[in-house]
Amino acid sequence: MNQLDALKQFTTVVADTGDFLQIAQFKPRDATTNPSLILKAVQRPEYAPLLAQTLARYGQRPLDEVMDHLLVRFGCEILTHIPGRVSTEVDARLSFDTSATVARAQRIIELYQAEGVHIDRVLIKIASTWEGIQAAAQLERQGIHTNLTLLFSFCQAVACGQAKVQLISPFVGRIYDWYKKQAGAQWDEAAMAGANDPGVRSVRRIYQHYRQHGVATEVMGASFRNLGQITALAGCDLLTIAPELLAQLAASDAPLARSLSADGAQAEVSPPLSHTEAEFRYALNDDAMATEKLAEGIRAFAVDTFKLEAMMKA
């Protein structure tokens, strides 16, 4: 049994890509997208027709509406290759506007429904700002399920649990990147690998807290840099993995054991937590890594959205 098949025994495997032609070979249950992945895809010849067709049909409409049609077109194509859900992201430039995020999410769902896609097959991705989390809480009450992304801190996870969001995507690789950069020449790769990786530790803490306190929100580790980060989180509810790393897992027959379990989470006692808005903002501000990476992630997704819009205008 290769490592990919072994991982599927413990964890739901999700493909992190806009390249739906690659998806079928790995047989993931779900798939996730973001503006950067869609931008990368539409620059390839095999996907350029999707952009051209979307523009031909909707190009006279407002740019933000054309963008949503393009995202939904990719999402619908992805859903033909997987049995589960696709995550589609709200414009990162709305990350600090609760009402605008809710309205955009509702429109994306309406576009999917117009294509015959059931609401339960779509997760709306929203940045884990305070405003984004409040938008997700409203959407969940309407039956629209959400995936809270750009999650780097424990306080973000606590607030998402309070909001009863469907799923969170704590980022492993970007946390690792930050701590490695901070350490500079003092970084010891071997000592900080596997279970000691700071990104892995972050996800383990969130997973254990949720399971211990009966939080139903699904935990999906994201943003991986290497196989060690993935295998150290075997047993997490879901893991969203780029095609390159999925291929490496499929090519490896090294043993893979379960690292996380709900039973194991009960052994580590932590107090139940909740955050007011002020407490959340202070806790996030007190975490330099999370503050920097959240802001950086929003900026990066916004830049790629601008690039997509520029392609549409051209």
Task: List domains and CATH numbers for the chain.
Answer: 3-313 (3.20.20.70)
Asked if 6 and 21 touch (Cβ cutoff 8 Å), the reply is: no
The CA distances from residue 73 to 1, 28, 303, in Å, are 35, 19, 21
Please report the pLDDT score of residue 21 as a whole number: 87
Residue 66: which of 80, 81, 50, 77 has the closest Cα? 50
Question: How many residues are recorded in the chain?
Answer: 314
Catalytic residue positions, numbered: 125
- Measure CA 304 to chain center: 16
Tokens for 104?
Answer: 């955009």
Please report the pLDDT score of residue 181 as a whole number: 98
The CA distances from residue 66 to 21, 46, 71, 88, 129, in Å, are 23, 20, 9, 14, 25
Please report the pLDDT score of residue 266 as a whole number: 58
Asked if 152 and 168 touch (Cβ cutoff 8 Å), the reply is: no
pTM over 0.85? The answer is yes
Tokens for 302?
Answer: 């916004």
At 3, is the secondary structure helix, strand, or coil? Answer: helix
At 197, is the secondary structure helix, strand, or coil? Answer: coil
Dist. CA 33–CA 87, nearest whole Å: 6
Residue 149: which of 277, 14, 260 has the closest Cα? 14
3-state helix, strand, coil in the chain (%, to 5): 55, 10, 30
Residue 128: which of 174, 172, 170, 175 has the closest Cα? 170
Please report the pLDDT score of residue 45 as a whole number: 93
Q: Helices (DSSP H) in 167-287: which residue ranges?
A: 173-183, 198-212, 227-231, 243-251, 262-265, 277-285
Dist. CA 27–CA 54, nearest whole Å: 27
| Low-confidence stretches of the chain (pLDDT beneath 70) | 264-269
Residue 135: which of 99, 170, 161 has the closest Cα? 99
Please report the pLDDT score of residue 261 as a whole number: 86
